[in-house]
Amino acid sequence: MSFNSLLVILSLSSLLPAFGVNGASRNGLLLDPNSILKTVKSEGGEVIDCVDIYKQPAFRHPRLANHTLQMKPSSYPIGIKPKGPLQSDNSSVVSFQRWRKNGEYCPEGTIPILRSSEENFRRKNGHPLGSSTNSLTPAGDVAEFAVAFLPGSNFHGAIGEINVWNPKTLKNELSAAQFWVTDGGGSSIDSIEAGWRVTDLTNYPSLFIYYTPDGYKTGCMNLLCPGFVQTNHKIALGAEVQPPSTYGGAQYLLQMTIHRDDQNGNWWFNLNGEDVGYWPANLFNGGLRGTASLLEWGGEIVNSNPRGFHTSTEMGSGHFPSEGYGKAAWFRNLKYITDGGRVKDAKGITGQATRPACYDIQVQKWEQDMGIHFYYGGPGFSPACMH
């Protein structure tokens, strides 16, 4: 696949309607009050509803009307071992989310759902909309990328580690770091995505997932509409995380795996060793009912061209990859999964950036502890990045 074709795919993902498919509404999910067993409010003002796992939004999707809940994968990629029950509130997988700071969590048998307003739909949990209807981003907005990609065939998943930063983000813009697992082309692209993002509304990074079954004509962010089936009761999709300074300046690490369950074709999302949930295979129209043919890792920003100049929204840490470890953001230990759950280093990845003078990427040689890795990002507006 050419880089220009890749950019078409990635640009489509940025220009998607933030209202998802099948039932997003002005006041959020309109959950049945009887399905909410507990409510938690974070210090940042977020409200988390603990919803009966069997009454979660996923089961409203017409293709999941008779779906049987799968609590864990039938198998794991070789070398990827799931963790047991969380032992303390300091567990790395949950302690970084702000709503967990005081030791709160949802009880077993429920899942945490972030309560969202219409504004959350439009900007916090999706790209900016030009109006209150399902439209693309406002005229003039441009998605820009610094990504590493691996084309091929028969991919059963992707693995990698991302360090989390808190990049400066201008009004109506966002900055993200994520995985893409895709198959197909044009209007038939299937895509599964996960990572962290920051918008101007909170200035905190948040965990997100997304999928589209039809080339971005429709799509679903987090649990804002039916699709993803969550099984974990302590991880809130879309919820904010603590800024890196909370951890003594260290950048928090997300160890992410998206892998196919080869018994039923469901695609599982695993975060720091914890199963979060899965995208059922029959959500997709073609491609990802089978395996993937393109894997991508990298950064994205939305540039609204404020005052006619390039945005100063930062990507990654706001530093260029040439500044190296300790300053530049990175993805490391990149791997792919083949049939039989075999895991291989993602040798042969290619790094490409849409505007290298604004945001760039440098793929590095294999190193101990870093594996296959790259640095990416940049500050945006500068004398070399004006328009």
Task: State the DSSP string of 194-262.
Answer: EEEEEETTT-S-EEEEEEESSTTSS-EETTSSS--EE--SS--TT-BB--GGGGTTPPPEEEEEEEE-T
CA geometry: angle 143, 147, 148, nearest 5 deg: 160
With CA atoms as reference, report the closest residue to 144 among 245, 11, 294, 253: 11
Residue 14 structure tokens:
């940025």
The radius of gyration computed from the CA coordinates of the chain, to the nearest angstrom, equals: 19
Annotated active-site positions, please?
Answer: 193, 300
Residue 80 structure tokens:
């990827």
Distance CA(226)–CA(173), nearest Å, equals: 26
With CA atoms as reference, report the closest residue to 239 among 55, 101, 135, 133: 101
Which residues pair with residue 278 across a beta bridge? 229, 268
Distance CA(129)–CA(350), nearest Å, equals: 32
Contact 86, 207 (CB under 8 A): no
What is the SS3 assignment for 22?
A: coil
Sequence-distant (≥ 6) Cβ neighbours of residue 179 within 8 angstroms:
158, 160, 192, 193, 194, 195, 256, 258, 295, 296, 297
